[in-house]
Amino acid sequence: MTDEKTQNIKPNSKCKVIKESDVFFNKYGTSTPNIIIEDKAEVVFGGEKWWEEINNPAILSFLTRTIMGGINPESTAINVYYGKIFTKDTAFGIGELVWENEIELIG
């Protein structure tokens, strides 16, 4: 996978997941939820090998989605972002990680 596009995604950017995900559908009732980005994964989790912190539920969920898609996070140059998905059933956001090419800026 290569860096297909670079977006101007900054902290507090509102984005929509544009690549349908069965994992997101099962969790949120939609395969393309909206997400408010906090920052790049390496900033939030403190380092280049952030994906090795498998005790974190957001990282574990991301790795599950990634492995199901046949992608090795070490072999790609695409940015990964951490953000919160808000649903009508939660008063707080649920942390998720997304590939840059899975999302687009909205509003």
- Tell me the per-residue pLDDT of 45-94, one tens digit each, with 9 for 90 and over: 988 788 888 899 999 999 888 888 777 767 677 899 999 998 777 668 89
pLDDT over 90 for what percent of the chain?
A: 49
Q: Tell the burial category of 19 from Cβ atoms under 10 Å away from its Cβ (0-12, 13-18, 19+).
A: middle
- Tell me the per-residue pLDDT of 14-47, one tens digit each, with 9 for 90 and over: 999 999 988 899 989 999 999 999 999 999 998 8
Question: Are the C-beta atoms of residues 64 and 23 closer than 8 Å to each other?
Answer: yes
**Which residue type, as a one-letter code, is found at position 22?**
D
- Tell me the per-residue pLDDT of 78-87, one tens digit each, with 9 for 90 and over: 899 999 998 7
